[in-house]
Amino acid sequence: MAVTGVPVVESRLEVCKEAKQAMIAALGGILLFGIILGIIAVVLGFQARTKIKHDASLTGSGLASAAIVIGAMVAFMSVVGMISRVNQH
């Protein structure tokens, strides 16, 4: 009795390293160094989305997108906070 059919190929999916780092930077930016970590989160998030688009074994596009949004908001709010502090004096 011969086995027929398409062989099953196990693909191992893993979360993109840059997506994880981007989210850590975005969340860290909420607490400390918002303008710096916010910008880092945005850059890493875009790098992660590019890697995920080109490599089918990587996941985490939602994580990367969330890091981009959070990082941009953190950086923006940090700039607004600095401007408001300067204008108070």
Inside any domain, residue 5: no
> How many distinct structural domains can be found in the chain?
1
Range of the domain at 70: 35-88
Q: What is the dihedral sign for C-alpha 27, 43, 32, 70?
A: negative
d(CA 31, CA 39): 14
Inside any domain, residue 6: no
**pLDDT tens string 37-50:** 999 999 999 999 99
Which pTM does this prediction carry? 0.82
Asked if residue 6 has pLDDT above 80, the reply is no
Inside any domain, residue 29: no
